[in-house]
Amino acid sequence: MEPMKPMAPMEPMRPMASPDTGWWPAGLSQPSSSGSQNGVRYAFFPEQQRLAIEQGGKVTQYATGEHRISGVSQSQGGSGAGTLRFTSQSGDVDLASLKAVS
């Protein structure tokens, strides 16, 4: 019988990739919060005071000012169009109240 051979050392683990990684525009840092609901993705970047929204394959950035976005909710209108509302340290913020930027 042949003696047992030593086991090969384990390879280092690679960090798990988030399913949301990298869909936002280049130049933004890592988001402090991100998520998705009903086919809409969002990511909040406090360093740049930006909120990125992906809807229907199109990404739009919004200036958030002093708002620190931490969550999202979506209500459905009668015509099927949803209204996005975000949670901040100052309460709820409607997406329509934020200025779109490029």
Which token pair is 11? 């390879």
Dihedral sign (CA 55, 23, 53, 69)? positive
User: Using one digit for the tens of pLDDT, what is the confidence trace for 46-87?
Assistant: 999 999 999 889 999 999 999 998 888 877 654 444 688 898
Residue 16 lies in a domain: no
Question: What is the C-alpha to C-alpha distance for residues 77 and 15, in angstroms, rounded to an integer?
Answer: 40
Residue 91 structural domain:
33-101
For residue 45, is it within any domain?
A: yes
Rounded-to-integer distance, Cα 10 and Cα 68, Å: 41
What percentage of the chain carries pLDDT values higher than 70?
85
Tally of domains within the chain? 1
pLDDT bucket at 17, cuts 50 / 70 / 90: low
In a domain, 9, yes or no: no
Q: Does 63 map to a domain? A: yes
Q: What is the pTM of this model?
A: 0.71
Nearest to 34 by CA among 12, 15, 57, 50: 50
Structure-block tokens of residue 69: 């976005």
Q: Is residue 13 part of a domain?
A: no
